[in-house]
Chains A and B, each alone.
Chain A
Amino acid sequence: MSLTPNREATVVVALIADNSGGMPDTLEAVEAQVYAPSRVVVVGDTPVGSVEKVDSLNTLIENLDISIAYVWVVREGSIPASDALSALMSDAGRIGAGVIGSKILGTDRHSLVSIGLVTDVFDVPYTGLEGDERDQGQYDVVREVAAVSGVSMLIRRDLVLGLGGIDDTMTPTAAAIDLGQRARLRGAVVAITPASQVVYSTDHRDQPRWRAEASRIRTMIKSYGALTLAWVLPLDFLTGFVEALVSIFFGRWYLFDWARSWFWNLLKLPETISLRRHARGQRVGADSDLFRFQRRGSVKLSAMAAGSMAAMRRRLPGDDRVSLEAIGRDVRQPAFAVGVLAIMFVLLSARNLWSDGLPAIGYTLPFPTNGWDVLQAYAGGWNPAGLGSTEPLRPLVAVAGLAKIVTLHAATLGEYALSAGALLLGIWGMTRLLRTWSVAATPALLAGIVYVAGPTAQGIAGNTHLGSLLALGVLPWALRVALAPMRENFFGVARRLAAAILIFGFLGALSPLMLLLPVPLIGFYAVVRFTDAPAWKGLIVALVGTAGGFLLLSPWIWSVGLLGIAREGYAFWNVSPIIAVAAAVVAGAAVVSADKTAGLVAGWAASITGVGLLLSRAGSFGWGTETESVALAMSGLGLGVLVGVVASTVTSPDAIRWRRLVSGIGSVGVVVLLVASTVIVLGGRVGLPGDSVRSDLAFTLAEEGAAERSRVLMVGPAALLPGDSRVIKNGAYRVVSAPVPDLGEARLEPFLEFDERLEFKLDLITSGETRRAGGELAEFGIKWIVVVGDSSSAEGDEQSVAWRDVFAGQLDLLPLNAATTNAVFVSDVRPVGRALTSGGDSWPRIGWTYEGEAAPGRRAFVAENPNERWGPPPRFTTEFSNEISAEQGLATFDSDDSRRTQATLVAAAIVVLLAGVVVGRRRT
C-alpha cells in the first residue's frame, strides 16, 4: 500500500460503489495516485477487502475531520490516471474551484465521454460531443461548466457541508448537476480540468430513466427562482408529454416514465421545498448565473428531431445513417433530391388545408369541433346524421375525433395532419413496399407520387370519399407488414401480428371496404410467386390482420352489412383515354422489360391494375361508389408498383438492348402519369374538389346564433348534396346542420319514424297538397331550404328547377336573394328550432348536444328521431320526436352500455397491441 502521504494529506477519496463492476481496478488506480489521499472510503454496499466503508456519501462528509479540505468522488469502474488527483488539486487551488471534475475518456482511451456538462434550461445534460468523438486535445482548457461528471470530481468539504450535502435520492448525473447549480448559487466555481483524466466505460448504465427524469425536475425546483419555475415547469411538462407521444413512433414507450417522474416529484414536493429553501436561502448568485452555463433551446426536442430524421433516413432504402459525411453523400443522391421534392409536393398539395381545413363537399366534410363528443357518440351515443339515430358512427368519424383531441381541438390542424400525413405516409409506404422487391429509392418515390396523387387517387378524391383517400396512406403499409421479412422467434411473430392488426384496423377504420383488399392481393401474389414462402406467410399475417382489424372496428362493424355498403350507388370511374393508354404502356413495359422476379411482380401489379379498373366501372354489375374508390386504390397500388418497376428497370445497368428500349417507352408513360399527378398541386387540397357546402350555407351565419338552432333542408342533384341523400319522387334531398354539417353527418342511417314523417311531409309538399311548406317543416327544426344547382331558369338543372318550383310555390317561405348562388328560402313560421321549449325558446346545438336556458316547469321538444334514452327525465317519447324536461337547460342522451363497453375494449386492445409492438421491437 502506498497510501502513506508523502506530503500533507487533505483529501479523502469516496469510492462510489454502484455494483457496476470494476472496483478492484478502480481501487488500484486510486492507490497509484501520485498525490496520495489521506483516506479511501467505499460508499455503498460493495465489500472491498479491508477498505473502510460507509453507507452514504453524506455520512462520510459529515463525519470528516476538519483537517480534510477536499473529497474526491470516484465512481466504481473508473480508472483515474495516476496524476488525476494531483491535477484536480492543483487546478482547484489555482482557480479557487469549489467543484472540479476530470476529463472522462472511454476505455479505448481515445474517445471522449465527458468534458464537463452544460444543460438546457430544463437541466437536461448536454455534453456537446458527437457520438464517437475522439480526444485530440480540442477541449483541453480549464473552464467553468454547469456541472461535472460524477465519475470523478473533487469537492471542497466545507462547501458541500454548507450546501447540505449530496442529494442521494437523485441519479448520479442529476446529483452532479444539482450540486453544481447549488454551488454556483453560493458563488462557488464549478470547473473542469482536462489535465485530470479518468477512463470510464460508457456501458455502465445509469439508474432507470424515470428516475433520471424525476431527479432533473427536482433539480429545477430546488435551484430556480419562482419566476423561472413559473414557465419552466409547465413547458417541461408539455415537452415531456410530446416526447412521450413522439417516442411511440420510434418504438419507445416513455409515457409511463413521464407520468411517474412527475408523480414522484409530487410525492416528494414537501421535502423538495425544504431543500429548496436551504439551497436558495444564502445564495449570492441568481438564475442568470445558472443560465450562463446553459445552451439555448431544448436538448430533448433537438434530440427528438435528430432522432426522427435519423429514423426516417434509416427507413429509406440503401443508405447509411446520418452523419455529416453521410449527409454530404446523400444530398448528392437522386433519392434525396426526389425525397425532398416529394415532401415539397405533399406540402404544396395540402397547403390550402392548413388554412381552410377540409372542403365541405360530398362525403368530405369538416371534422366535428369537439373530439370528445365524437368519441362519446361512437361509443354508443347519438348519431347526429339527418334526424339522428342510435346507429354507430363510422370509425372514420372516431379517427377524426381523436385527431381533434390530439391537436387540442385546433381548427384545422387535425384535418391537415391527417390529410397531408396520409399523402406522405402513402409515398413512404410505397417506397417501403417496393423495397420488398429491391426497387431503389428514386423509382419508389416516383411510384409513391403516382400512387397517392395519380389519376386513381384523383378519382377517389373526386368521389369525395375522404376515408378511402386517407386509407391510401395505410394500404401499402398493410401489404408491407405482411410481406416484409420477419424474425421467426416468438417476439418477432407476436410483434408482427400485433402490428398487422393495428395497421389493418386503422385501414378499416378509414375505409371499411379497403380492409378486404390486402388478403386477395397478397393471396394472388402468393399464387403468382408460388414457391415464395414469405408470400404465403404474408397471407397468414394478412388473414390475422384482417380478422383482428375487423374486431377493432367494434361496435360499428356489428351493425352494418359490408355488402350493402359495397353496392350503394353506381361505380363508374370516368377515365381519361390518355391516362388509360399511358397506364397500358407502363404495364406492358414493366411486364416485358423487367427481370424475372420484378417481371412477375409487374405481372401481378398489372393484373390488379386491370381488375381494379374493371371494378371501378362495374356499376352495371351492381357495385357502388365505395367499391369504386376501393377498386381505384387497388388499381392505383398496382399502377404505382408498375411505375416503380419501369423506373427501376430503365435506370438499371443490367437493362440493355431491347429491354432498355421497352422500358424507355414505358418511361414515357411514367412521365405522363407523373405529370397527371401534379395536377393536385393546383388546388392545394390533396386532390379534393373545392368547397361547396360551406359556401352554400354561409348565409345561415348572417343572424347571430341562428345557425346553431335550426336545420337546413338541402335539395337538388344528389351529386351536389353533402353525403348521403334520400329520394322522393326522383328528387333528392337531405337534412343537415347549419352553418356546415360535419363529418358525423355524412352517412345517413335507415329510416326511422321521424324520417318517415319528414318524407310524408315532403310528399304533401311536392304533391301540392299543402302550400305551407314552412309550417310543415318547422317541426323538424328546418328553417332554411337550399336548392343547390342551377335553378335560375328553365334551362337549368332539371332537379334544381323542379325543387325550386316546389318551394317557390309556398305561401310561408321567403326567398333569400342576397349573396347566395343557390335558391334559398327561409321559413316565415315562428318559432323554428331543433330543440324548442314549451315556452317557444330554442336551444342552440353546442357541440353535439343541445344547451339553453333552463326553463323550470317547462318541457323541451328535441327534433330528433324518438328514443327513450333522450333526457333528462321525466321523459316522454312522442310518436315522432322527443319531449324531455327543460329544467336543466340541457338535452342529454344516455349511451348504449353494450356499445360503450365494446368501444372501451377496442381502446384497451389498441393500447395492448401498441405495447406488444414496442416490447416486441425491443426484444427483437
Chain B
Amino acid sequence: MRRAVLFVLAALAGFAGIVQIAAPPPPAPEFESSHTGESDAAAANATVWYCPWVEAGDVLDTTVVVASVSDATVDMTLLDPLTNTEPTEFSFDLMGPGATGINTGNLLRRGESPAVIEFSNGPASAISMQIADGLVSADRCVVSIPKKWFLTGGSTKTGTFTEIRLFNPFADNAEVSITAHSEFDLDLSPDLNSIDVAGRAWTTIDLEPFFPFRDELVFEIVAQQGLVIPVLVRTDEHGEAMWTGTSASETWEFPVVAPGGLEPSLAIMSAGDDAISITIDIITEMGTTVAAREVVVDSTAPVLVPLGDLAAAPFGARVSASAPVVATVVATVPDEAPSGGEGELPGDATTTTSESTDTTNTTTAVEEVFLRGLAGTVGSSRTATSWIVPLDTIAGSETTLWMMNGGVDDATITILPLGESEFLIEDSIQVPAGTIVGLAVDVGVGTFGYEVQSDIPITVAWEIVGNSGVALVSGIASE
C-alpha cells in the first residue's frame, strides 16, 4: 500500500514537472544610442553630431554652425583622409543660449574632411553649409545612426549627377549594402552589395556608372556591420544640393519647398512591401489646401510628385501616408526656364542675353529669364514645440526662417535669436492655424540660429536664397 502511494506521489510530481513551461526569452535590449527614435535622424538632446559633408579647399569652404541653449564646450574633430593619422581637433566654449559658425577652412584646408561635433551640454545642434562662388548647399548634421537608411531624390538623368558619401566616424569597420530603386523598380547592382568603409574614414560613390540615365533614384542603405552615415549630393548645371538619409515615417512636414522660384517636387517611396496611398496638403501663408494631391505609390518604385502647380511660392507641404514612406523635397530649375550665368539671382527675370540674326547681322537685346540653384531637404517627421535652428547668412543672400503650423489652433511662437552677442532680442509672433510664416534673418548682425518655442506643436525650416544659389534646411526639434 505504501509503495503504491509513493509511486502515485512520484508520478504526480513527475507529471507536474513535465508540464512546467520554459522561461520566456529575455526581452530585447532597449538602447537608444544607435537605433534612432527620430526618423529624420536629428534631435537636439544628443551630444554628438556627425557632419559628413565638410570640405575646405581652393574652391569650396564649409561653415559648421553650432547652437546651444546652455553653456557648453564644443569639441570639433575633423578627420584626416589618411588612416591612422591623428584628426584635427578644435575646442571652444559656447555661451548659452548662443550660436556660432566655424569656418573649417580656417582650421585646415585639405579638401574633404567630415566633422564630429561634441557638446558637453545641451540641448544643442549643428549644421554644415558649403559655400563657393556661385554655390551654396547646406543641411543638418546627423545625431542618430540607424542601421538602415533611405536616401531619396537622386537622379542621373542627363546633366544631373548623384553621389553618395558613406561616412564612418567610428573605429569599427563597416560593411554596407546599397540597394537602388528607380523608375524601373528595383535596380540591382551587384557591385554595391558589399561596400567596406574603414573605421574613421569615408568613401564617396558616383552612382552614374552604376545607374545611368535614371530620372528617379532612391537608395536603401543597410549597414551589415558597423555604422555609417550616408549623405546624398545631387549636382546639375545650376547648382548643388545635399541632404542626409532618413528612416521611414508615415508623416513628413516641409515648412518651405519652393525657394527662389525653383520648381519643387516631392521624391517619395514606400518603405514597405505594399503599394500605399499618399495625401499631400499644401500650406501657404494664407491657409491650407487639404489633399491638394493624392497619389498611389508602388512598393518598389519611387515617385516624383510635382508640387509647383499646387500653389504659388512660398508654401509648405505636409505628407500623410497609409504606411511609412521616405520623402525628400527637391527644388530644381524648371525645364522651360533658361539657365543663367554666374552671379545671377534666382528668380531674376531681367537677365539680358544677345541673339544674332543671319539676315540683318545686327545684335538685338532680348530679355530672358535665367534661374540658378538646386535645393533639397528631408523633412521633419514630427511636430514639436521647441526647436533649435542653427543657420547662417551670406552677404547677397536672403535667409528666411519658416514656421509651419499645420494644426487647427493658432500658435504663439517665441523666437530667440542665437549668436555670439548677448544683445539679441527675443521676439514673439502669431502663426495662424494652417499657415506658414517666414521670418527674414538680418544679415551681418551675428545671428547664427534661433531657438523657437511654440505653445502648440509646429515644424520649422529655413532657406537661403541668393546669388550663390539656394539651400533648404530642416529645423531640429529639441524636446
Contact = CB atoms under 8 A, between A and B. Distances in A.
Contact of B17 (A591, A613, A718, A769): A613
A799 B143 CA distance: 23
A731 B29 contact: yes
A768 B172 contact: no
Interface in B6-37: 6-7, 9-14, 16-18, 20-23, 26-35
Nearest to B169: A811
A807 B226 CA distance: 9
Contacts of A587: 7, 10
A805 B147 contact: yes
Contact of A766 (B5, B33, B144, B225): B33
B173 interface: yes
B31 A828 contact: no
Secondary structure call for the A interface: helix
A811 B31 contact: no
A500 B23 CA distance: 38
A601 B258 CA distance: 91
Given A572-B22, A815-B199, A591 B7 contact: yes
Contacts of A572: 20-23
A620 B20 contact: yes
Interface string B166-196: 0001111110000000000000000000000
A735 B147 CA distance: 28
A769 B30 CA distance: 14
B83 to A, nearest CB: 12
Contacts of B17: 610, 613-618
A607 interface: yes
Interface string B219-258: 0001011110000000000000000000000000000000
Contacts of A588: 7
A672 interface: no
A528 B147 CA distance: 64
Interface string B33-49: 11100000000011110
Most buried by A among B11, B23, B33: B33
A570 interface: yes
A808 B30 CA distance: 16
Contacts of A823: 172
Given A771-B48, A811-B116, A814-B171, A731 B9 contact: no
Interface in A794-828: 794, 798-799, 802-803, 805-811, 813-815, 817, 823, 825, 828
A805 B227 CA distance: 7
Contacts of A613: 13-14, 17-18
Given A610-B13, A768-B33, A802 B28 contact: yes
A620 B19 CA distance: 11
B344 interface: no
B33 A805 contact: yes
B145 interface: yes
A609 interface: yes
Given A613-B17, A809-B170, A811-B116, A606 B31 contact: no
B451 interface: no
Contacts of A808: 34, 170, 172, 174, 226-227
A246 interface: no
Nearest to A604: B6
Most buried by A among B2, B12, B14, B147: B14
Most buried by B among A572, A592, A799, A809: A809
Nearest to B226: A808
Contact of A603 (B2, B118, B143, B144): B2
Nearest to B6: A603
Given A610-B9, A768-B46, A815 B173 contact: yes
Contact of B34 (A580, A798, A805): A805
Contacts of B33: 765-768, 805-806, 809
A275 interface: no
B227 A809 contact: yes
A718 B26 contact: yes
A770 interface: yes
Interface in A744-789: 765-772
B24 to A, nearest CB: 9
Interface string A704-719: 0000000000000110
A806 B31 contact: yes
A115 to B, nearest CB: 62
Interface residues of B, number: 51
A606 B10 contact: yes
Contacts of A600: 2-3, 6
Contacts of A618: 17, 20
A607 B3 contact: no
Contact of B118 (A609, A771, A792, A813): A771
A815 B11 CA distance: 55
A808 B226 CA distance: 6
A6 interface: no
A588 B199 CA distance: 65
Contacts of B3: 591-592, 599-600, 602-603
Contacts of A50: none
A619 B19 CA distance: 12
Contacts of A551: none
Nearest to A796: B225
B10 A607 contact: yes
Nearest to A768: B33
Most buried by A among B7, B169, B226: B7
A766 B225 CA distance: 18
Nearest to A817: B173
A307 to B, nearest CB: 42
Given A811-B170, A828-B171, A766 B31 contact: yes
Contacts of B7: 587-588, 591-592, 603, 606
Interface in B364-391: none
B16 A802 contact: no
Given A610-B14, A610-B17, A813 B224 contact: no
Interface in B418-463: none
B169 A580 contact: no
Contacts of A830: none
A848 B23 CA distance: 37
A30 B329 CA distance: 131
A815 B198 CA distance: 11
Contacts of A603: 2-3, 5-7, 10
Interface in B200-230: 222, 224-227
A799 B30 CA distance: 10
Nearest to A615: B17
A694 B433 CA distance: 65
Given A607-B10, A611-B13, A805 B169 contact: no
Interface string A69-93: 0000000000000000000000000
A810 to B, nearest CB: 6
A524 to B, nearest CB: 10
B246 to A, nearest CB: 17
B31 A729 contact: yes
A209 to B, nearest CB: 52
A584 B9 CA distance: 13
Contact of A825 (B5, B147, B171, B174): B171
A547 to B, nearest CB: 28
Interface of A: 528, 570, 572, 574-575, 580, 584, 587-588, 591-592, 599-600, 602-604, 606-607, 609-611, 613-620, 717-718, 729-732, 765-772, 792-794, 798-799, 802-803, 805-811, 813-815, 817, 823, 825, 828
22 contacts: A572-B22, A591-B3, A602-B3, A603-B5, A603-B10, A610-B9, A613-B14, A614-B20, A616-B17, A617-B17, A729-B31, A731-B29, A731-B31, A767-B33, A768-B143, A771-B48, A807-B172, A808-B226, A809-B33, A811-B48, A815-B199, A825-B171
| The 6 nearest A-B residue pairs measured at CB | A603-B6, A610-B13, A768-B33, A731-B29, A614-B17, A610-B10
Given A610-B11, A767-B31, A770-B47, 5 more contacts: A609-B14, A610-B14, A617-B20, A792-B225, A805-B35
